[in-house]
Structures are given as structure tokens and as C-alpha cells.
Amino acid sequence: MEDRILIPVVVNQNSSSLYLCWFPCSILLLLLPPQTSSVAAAEALLKWKASLDNQSQPLLSSWVGDRPCNNWVGIACEELELGVSVTSLNLSSFGLIGTLYNLNFSYFPNLLTIDLYNNSLNGTIPDSIGNLPKLTHLDLAYNELSGTFTPTIWNLSKLLFFHFTGNQISGRIPPEIGQMTSVQFSYPSIPREIGMCKALIFLALDGNNRILLGKPVFFNTTNFLDLFLQKSENNNISGPIPEELGLLQHVWILQLLGNSLSGPIPASIGKMSALANLRLEQNQLSGPIPTTFGNLTKLQSIVLLQNNLSGSIPASIGKMIPPELGEATKLGVLDFSSNHLTGNIPKELGRLTSLLQLLLNDNQLSEGRIPNIKAFHEAPITALQNNKGLCGNATGLKACPKAIPNPLSKRSNQFLVIILVSLLGTMFIIFIIVGVLLIFCRRVRKTEDKPREAQNDNLFAIWSYDGKMVYENIIDATEEFDSKYCIGVGGYGSVYKVDLPTSQVVAVKKLHPLPDGEICNQKAFTSEIRALTEIRHRNIVKLYGFCSHPRHSFLVYELLEGGSLMKLLNSEEGAKTLDWIKRANVIKGVANALSYMHHDCSPPIIHRDISSKNILLDQEYEAHIADFGTARLLKPDSSNWTSLAGTFGYMAPELAYTMEVNEKCDVYSFGVLTLEIIMGKHPGDLISSLTSSAFTTLNMPLKDVLDQRLSLPMNEAAREVLSIAKIAIACLHTVPQSRPTMQQVSQELSTQKLHLPSTLHMITLGEVVDL
């Protein structure tokens, strides 16, 4: 508390009366509450700074004066009713050494966020931390804090995120933790109190010590969206996987990789209906792969490598989405390598038409032909190696021998002829009857089709010319959608290349039929189609119109011959043709299109699946956003906007907590896509390292991150790449409100050209962040 000087002013009073006046006034001053202004907060912060060691204080050199909201590093403020107040303290990975004893949190009544992640703070957590009534985010992970939790910490009634992994805190966790929605910590065992967290949707247990995964009480908490129990430096989770996992029906990411889990994979995992990402690799699991995996209709990635699994691959995996739902399976990654699987590869895997990555190597698959789909045909030689007896059209496999029928004995042939002759006579009569019935039914169907087509005339009217003629032309040009015209398969339909009689070449997306066979609100559907056909932007794939018929419904787009950006980046030769200037133009084109969708369309259009597979290029390498609005079009009045949508690796992290889709989700996906373009591959773990400000990542040279297939950019290209890298990192901010809008991104890409502080090969990622 700051020193106070009391100067009493008394006229014609003796000393005793002077004393009597001074004493109660002093008591009154002592009883006054401490200052809560930004000036008082500055004094508290400066006092804490002075208590840190001599190496830490220069890191806070901007902390001078009495105005913390004026460019003090790590401090953020907001204008509130009573004036400007400190709302965020973020000094993660600053290398601070000292304690929290001298930081009086009582002077920060409006503080929302404390992030002191990855420093060297020791001692205990002070009691005053409980005097933060508005705190929602507390991250003290990877310090050297010890002792027990101060009881006042559980007074933080608004706290949603609590991360204290990598400390030495011990003692009992009280029941008050049950109000939190996100908990991440290191602890000798999983505390029973976690089971009280009825609102918990995210749990990460990393850096723990020999946790035995028996029947943890947290399975009472069925709201989970993410469950990470993966190996870290001190982790060794062992025991079987509990059957109770099947109770977590909202979980869509389950990662138990790199531990010592043993026993069979429980069949109950097949009940986790929302599961999209399953990783159980690098354990000691044994037994067969459960056939119940076929029930996981939303599964996009399954990785089981390096276990002791045996038996055959269940055919049910090829049925992850039943055909009556009309959608191809979403499974994109299938990794069963390094196990003891036997038998043949089930033909049902041929239904996984969206499969992008396949690994079955180092098993004992010893018989049979591989499925006839692209993922098998284009698999690298290592993906199927060390399996004896496989054959088919793939690199490194021998061709399958032609089937040789077993010769029948002469006596058997004679017996077969007698049976066939007697059957043919009967069947001939049946065929005549059936033929007559078919002709009759066809005439009836034509009669019924005419009113159906007339009923759907309002949908055909979307075209600027005769919709019925367009429908017939497309049917004829594709020979009733023959597979030889198919150029791609997506989540909502198959895409065909069509040459119309007008010499125009278009792309036709034939939609899978809806489960109920009908569009739920034809009027709203028509209105939305009309709106999309009126969109005019050079970086958005043009939608020409829509055709509806009892047998087929399809959308018609302009055809872009350049293919997808993902295909180009995955090609060694194709990536080299996409030089730095072309890549910068692709990024600008995508930014311009998203800015148009978010800010110039009414209502705004949110894509929800920005990824390299949905960016198409023309022959001039101009970028065009594709596949937007399809989900919304199929159900225009649907309220199911919070269901899982998008591509793993591109989705914004807040979807794991709120599932609230808005424009900032597209901004995050754009940041991932931008890094992918300049790196030549998906950024992967680099994203989490950048957002956590990991020291080793920030010291990494920018040149080591860029696509090594191209020479280092120079001059103007170097300035372009530097600006793009800075904007991409800003788009990946973990707090959605801190991300720029796409309008800001588009404007910055058009105008901002950062000055090179040094030659490009000397610039680190940390310097890019600070530009």
C-alpha cells in the first residue's frame, strides 16, 4: 500500500484536540479500499517487476511510469465504464525468473486473462489471485510453482480455462473445479474431482507420471469434445482402454497415442458417434480391429500403427457411411501399418472414395487383390510393402493372375446341361411376362414424370435458358453419369466434366440424394440458389445454375482446367511451376474472395471448409474458391450449423469449445492455407508452436520453413513472402476476436510491403511476429 502523509490543519486548538482529530482520520484512511485505477495497477506491476531477478527486469524495460495501458509489453487494456482498466497479462515464454509473492492481484478487478506459460516462476500461488472476479483464462503451465493450491483460487467463478501442466503442485483438488469447461494439468493420477466437471468439454493430461488408465471417474462427464491422453516427456499411461469410452458420444478427437496401453480395442468405441479423428498408434494393443468401427460414420482419420493387432481388416470399415445416406465416406486417412493383420484386404474398402492417405505396410496380409480405388492405385511403394501375396494395379505389386475356372468332369457337364435346359424353358416364359410388365411400367413412369417435371419448373427457371433442355443435354453428354466422365468425388456429390452441345465445357456436381429424398424447403432453396448464381467475383467459382429431377439433382459450375491447389503442391514438378509471385497471387485471390463473401454479401457467406483441396486454379494460376455453400444449400432452413464441418488441420481451435461457426473460423483456415502455400506442405505442429510462442520455434529461421523446392525469394518476392508470413501468423491467433477480418487481410496484402530488416536468410519466425 502506498505511503500516505496526513497534514492536519487546526486553528486555536491545543495538542490534545489535535491528536483526537488525527487518530480517527488515520483509522478511516486505513479502512479505505485500495486503488483500483490503472495507476494503482501500474504500482503493483512495478513492485512485482522489482522483485524479479536481474536478468528478468530488462525484459520488462517498457514498464516505466504510471500508465500500463501505454505500450507496456504483455499488458492489454479496455475502456470500461469507470475508465481504462487492465484486462490481460500475457508474458508467456518470456524467460522470467522469480515468484508471484509481490504481485498483488487485488489491483486488477477487471482482469480476464493471465498467461504466464513457460517461465521460471517458483514458490506458491498467492492468495490474492482469488480476488479476480472476472478472470476466465489462467495459464501457469511449465513453471516451477510448488506447494498446494491456495483455497482462494476456487473463488474464480468465471474461470473457464485452467492450465497448470509442468509444475510441482500437490494436494487435493476441491469440488469447485466442477464449474470449469477446460482443464489441462500434470498430476500423479487422474483426480476423482474431474468427474464433477459436468460442463467439461476439453481435457488434456500431458506430462503426467505413470497414470493407470483403468476406469477414470471423468467418464461421468459426457460433454467432452476433445480427449487427449497422449505421451509426453514424463508420460506412461498403461492398462486397458476402458469400455466406458463409448459413453463419450460428443467426442470428435480421441488421441491415446504413444503410451503403454494394452489389451484389445474395446468395441464400445464404435458407439462414439461423433468421432472424427482416432489415433491409437504406438501402444501395445492386441486382438482384432473391432467390426463396430463401421458405425463411425463421421470418421475422417484412423491411425493404429505400431501395435500388436491381429486378425483381418473388418469389412465393415468400408461401410462407414451407409449407401442410403447418399454420401461417400469422409475417411481420408487409414493407417494400420506395423501390426500383425492377416488375410486379404476386404473389397468393401473400395467404397472409401475420399481416401487420401493409405498405409498397410509391415503386416501379414497374404492374399487377394487390392481394392480398385485411387488411394490404392496411387499409394507409394512403402504403403503396401512387406505383405506377401497382395496383387493389383499399384506401384511395387505384381499383377493379379487371371482367374482360371476349375474344369468340370464330363459327367458333371452333362448333368449341368440337363438342369440348364429344363430351367431355360421355364425362364423364357417368365422373361416374356416380365418384359410386358416392364414396358407397361415404363409408359406409366413417363406419364408420372411429366407432372413431376412441371412441378419443378420453378427450379429450372433459375437458368437463363430452358432448364429441361440443359438437363437432357447433361444426361446425354455424360451417358447417364457414367463413371468415365467423373473427375472427382466430394462429401456431397460426384463431379463430372461435361461437354455441352453449345461447345461450352462445365463441371457438374451430381448431388447424392437426401435421406428423405426431398429438399426440405423448396422456396428457400430456390431463393438461395438464385442468390449464389448472381455472385460475380473473379476468385469464386461461377455457379451457372441448378437442375432438379426425380432421378437426379445437380449443380453446374464453370470448369477450371488447372485442378486443385492441393494436387499441385503435392506434385514435385507442379510445385516448381508455382513460383513465389504466383503463390502470392493465389493467396491474394483467396483473401479477396473471402473478403467479398464476408463483407460484400448479404447475408454474409461463411465457407467453413477453406483448404487446399477447395482452391481451384485456372490455366493462368488464378485462384478460385470452390464448394462453398453446398451444405447450406441442401438444408437452407437447417439450424444444424454447429455440427462438425470442415477439414482436419484447417479448423479453428475454438470449435472444440463452442462449436460456434462465424467468419473468424474462415480467417483461421485461411492462415493455415497461407502457411501451407509458402511451406509447400501442411504446417502441422508448427501451428501450435507459433500460437504458444515456443522459444525454439520463434528462433527458427524463416528460410527453413519455406518450400525447399523453390530457391529463396529475393527482392520484391522476399518482401511479399515476409508480409504474407506475418499476416498468416496473425490469422492463427487462438483468440478469435484477435484475428484480423478478411477485409483487413485483403487490404494489407494489397498495400503492405514490409521492409526487410536484414537479408531473408537471417530473419527468424520471432522477428516476423514482431514486425
Rounded CA-CA distance 376/383 in Å is: 9
Q: Which residues, including other chains, have CB under 8 Å from residue 401's CB and lie 6 or more apart?
A: 391
CA distance 10 to 109: 38
- Point out the catalytic residue in the list 206, 609, 666, 707: 609
Q: What is the DSSP letter of 96?
A: -
- Per the CB < 8 A criterion, the answer to whether 745 and 671 are in contact is no
704 as an active site residue: the answer is no
Measure the CA–CA gap between 614 and 622, rounded to whole angstroms: 13
412, exposed or middle or buried, with CB in 10 Å at 0-12, 13-18, 19+? exposed
Residue 210 CB partners (closer than 8 Å, separation 6+): 188, 236, 237, 238
The per-residue DSSP string of 683-739 comes to -TTHHHHHHTT-HHHHTSBGGGTS-TTSPPP-HHHHHHHHHHHHHHHHHT-SSGGGS
List phi, psi (to 5°) of 633.
-65, -40
Contact yes or no for 115/89 (Cβ under 8 A): yes
Q: Give whole-number Cα distances, 301 to 94, 270, 284, 354, 530, in Å.
A: 36, 14, 20, 11, 36
Which DSSP letter does residue 369 get? Answer: B
Cα angle value 674/680/683 (rounded, 5°)? 60
Cell of 392: 493389383
Q: How far apart are CA 182 and CA 199, in angstroms?
A: 9
- 701 vs 768: CA distance, rounded Å: 10
Q: Does residue 488 sit in helix, strand or coil?
A: strand
Q: Where are the beta strands (DSSP E) in 513-552?
A: 543-548
Q: C-alpha grid cell for residue 219?
A: 467418464
510 appears as a binding residue in the annotation: yes
Burial 189-218 (b: 16+ CB within 10 A, else e): ebbebbbbbeebbbbbbbbbeebebeebeb
Packed helices 663-679 and 742-751: angle between N→C axes, nearest 10 degrees: 40
Closest CA to 508 of 563, 554, 562, 460: 554
Q: Which one-letter amino acid corresponds to residue 226?
A: D
Record the cell numbers describing residue 685, joined without a space: 505442429
Per DSSP bridges, beta strands 553-558 and 615-617 are unpaired
Strand, coil or helix: 533: helix
Q: Hey, what amino acid is at 218?
A: F
* Cα separation, 300 vs 609, whole angstroms: 14
Side-chain half-sphere of 235: how many Cα atoms within 13 Å? 25
Distance CA 338, CA 171 (A): 42
Nearest to 561 by CA among 494, 602, 606, 622: 622
Indicate the burial class of 240 (C-beta count within 10 angstroms; 0-12, 13-18, 19 or more): middle
Which residues, in sequence order, are bridge partners of residue 753? none
Residue 581 burial (CB < 10 Å; 0-12/13-18/19+)?
A: middle
Annotated binding residues for ATP, written as ranges, equal 510
Active site residues: 609
